[in-house]
């Protein structure tokens, strides 16, 4: 998929601010949202090349200026010179990967009473070609159906149902991360320097206080390992018809509200996704195992460090992971399954022990994780080099056939 371009290095004092407003109207009667993108000054943008995908989620485009429907699920907008608007409709209900025809489950869903979706479901990925020196100042406003009370997003709130969208690493800002609208029950807390909200529709069985308590319990340990502090964290949940998993987005986490916060093995779906929110590790060159291993390992390690797991239980977790991952012969691949993830976590645990031995407990896997956070997309080779740099010599743990191409 084509990502948004990186921000150009134009001095802030020389940049020209142009307002970019997203106005979203939720339409539960048609399982759609209407999205209106308005540029205060259309001439600031030469073109917006949008990746609409092949599944037909986006439709009914109207534009001030020129809209060109291209091949392979693309569309290009060339805005009119004055105030310019592009409007489209988008389907919200999207089936989960493991959904069965006789009992569909959804990654994103709209019901007559609530809607749970990702911000990126509303606005497709795009390439932006804009005038030099322009900075688009993006905001999102959501219109709710009659009877719906509120909407939650991980972006800063600047008014009723209104949010500021600002990603400094992107040239073209769009809403991302989990969003939830309807008649919601919220629990809020201030953890460190982060405003945390746990939100779910009424009647969906979300364990809000338990979720908030677990986050409060491990928060200091998570921040010590991953020194990245989001201004907000939104945790959303639902049960009816939703995917039975957990998933991280931009400063946000989705949990199926019927699933345990901590599984019988000791791993926590909530903490697993929290690690992803904090670490934001990206991979390349068939090295997804690095992200998966870090995430799985620290989902247990943070709980252990916080005092929520005894040494006996930790040994039980290791035994379970060893059984699950014993038949894995390689960790390399574009995707990793459950067995590969468990094997990668065990490799991380062994590497942590090796680093501690070699450095007399002065360094650990924490230092490797922090090195990964400072990089862009990392490869297996990058991971091996960072580990050697932390330890002061090459790792014997990583000299394994599991990491060969």
What's 347's domain CATH number?
Answer: 1.10.390
> Which helix (H) or strand (E) is 387 found in, with range?
helix 380-391
Q: Residue 244 has what pLDDT?
A: 87
| Neighbour tally for 21: CB within 10 Å | 17
Cβ pair 231, 195 in contact under 8 A: yes
Q: Residue 2 has what pLDDT?
A: 38
> Which helix (H) or strand (E) is 197 found in, with range?
strand 194-201
- In sequence order, the β-bridge partners of residue 234 are 197, 252
- Residue among 342, 329, 346, 340 at smallest CA distance from 401: 329
- Residue among 22, 35, 8, 38 at smallest CA distance from 135: 8
Cβ pair 369, 227 in contact under 8 A: no
The count of structural domains within the chain is: 2
Pairing of strands 134-143, 16-27: parallel
Distance of alpha carbon 210 from alpha carbon 205, whole angstroms: 12
In a domain? residue 110: no
Cβ pair 298, 325 in contact under 8 A: no
Q: What is residue 384's three-state secondary structure? A: helix
Clarify whether residues 21 and 169 are in a common domain. yes
In a domain? residue 391: yes
Q: Residue 99 has what pLDDT?
A: 61
Clarify whether residues 170 and 26 are in a common domain. yes
Domain final residue, candidates 174, 201, 216:
174
In a domain? residue 154: yes
The CATH number of whichever domain residue 137 belongs to comes to 2.60.40.3650
Q: Residue 266 has what pLDDT?
A: 82
Distance of alpha carbon 146 from alpha carbon 114, whole angstroms: 11
| Neighbour tally for 52: CB within 10 Å | 21
| Angle, CA of 90, 26 and 199, to the nearest 5° | 110
Sorted by sequence, the CB contacts under 8 Å of residue 109 that are 6+ apart come out as 92, 93, 94, 115, 116, 117, 238, 240, 241, 242
Domain final residue, candidates 140, 156, 174:
174
Residues of the chain with pLDDT below 50 are 1-13
Cβ pair 363, 386 in contact under 8 A: no
| Domain of residue 146, residue span | 16-94+119-174
In a domain? residue 169: yes
């Amino acid at each position: 998929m084509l990502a948004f371009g990186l921000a150009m290095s134009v001095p802030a004092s020389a940049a020209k601010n142009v307002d970019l407003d997203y106005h979203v109207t939720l339409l539960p009667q048609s399982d759609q949202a209407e999205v209106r993108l308005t540029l205060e000054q259309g001439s600031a943008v030469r073109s917006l090349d949008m990746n609409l995908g092949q599944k037909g989620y986006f439709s009914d485009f109207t534009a001030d200026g020129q809209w060109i429907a291209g091949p392979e699920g693309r569309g290009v907008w060339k805005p009119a010179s004055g105030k310019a608007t592009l409007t489209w409709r988008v389907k919200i209900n999207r089936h989960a990967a493991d959904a069965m025809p006789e009992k569909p489950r959804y990654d994103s869903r709209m019901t007559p009473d609530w809607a749970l979706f990702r911000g990126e479901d509303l606005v497709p990925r795009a390439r932006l070609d804009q005038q030099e020196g322009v900075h688009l100042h993006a905001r999102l406003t959501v219109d709710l159906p009659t009877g719906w009370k509120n909407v939650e997003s991980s972006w800063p709130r600047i008014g009723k149902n209104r949010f500021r969208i600002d990603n400094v690493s992107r040239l073209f800002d769009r809403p991302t991360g989990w969003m939830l609208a309807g008649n919601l029950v919220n629990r809020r807390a201030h953890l460190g320097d982060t405003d945390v909200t746990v939100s779910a529709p009424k009647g969906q069985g979300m364990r809000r206080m338990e979720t908030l308590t677990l986050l409060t319990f491990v928060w200091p340990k998570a921040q010590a390992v991953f020194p990245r502090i989001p201004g907000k964290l939104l945790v959303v949940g639902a049960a009816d018809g939703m995917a039975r998993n957990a998933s991280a987005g931009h400063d946000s986490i989705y949990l199926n509200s019927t699933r345990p916060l901590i599984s019988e093995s000791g791993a926590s779906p909530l903490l697993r996704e929290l690690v992803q929110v904090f670490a934001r590790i990206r991979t390349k060159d068939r090295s997804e195992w690095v992200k998966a291993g870090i995430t799985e390992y620290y989902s247990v390690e943070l709980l252990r460090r916080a005092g929520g797991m005894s040494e006996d239980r930790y040994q039980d977790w290791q035994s379970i992971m060893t059984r699950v991952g014993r038949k894995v012969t390689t960790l390399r691949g574009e995707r990793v399954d459950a067995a590969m993830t468990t094997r990668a976590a065990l490799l991380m645990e062994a590497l942590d022990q090796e680093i501690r031995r070699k450095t007399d407990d002065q360094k650990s896997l924490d230092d490797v994780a922090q090195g990964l956070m400072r990089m862009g997309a990392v490869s297996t080779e990058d991971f091996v080099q960072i580990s050697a740099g932390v330890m002061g010599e090459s790792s014997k743990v990583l000299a394994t056939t599991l990491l060969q191409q």
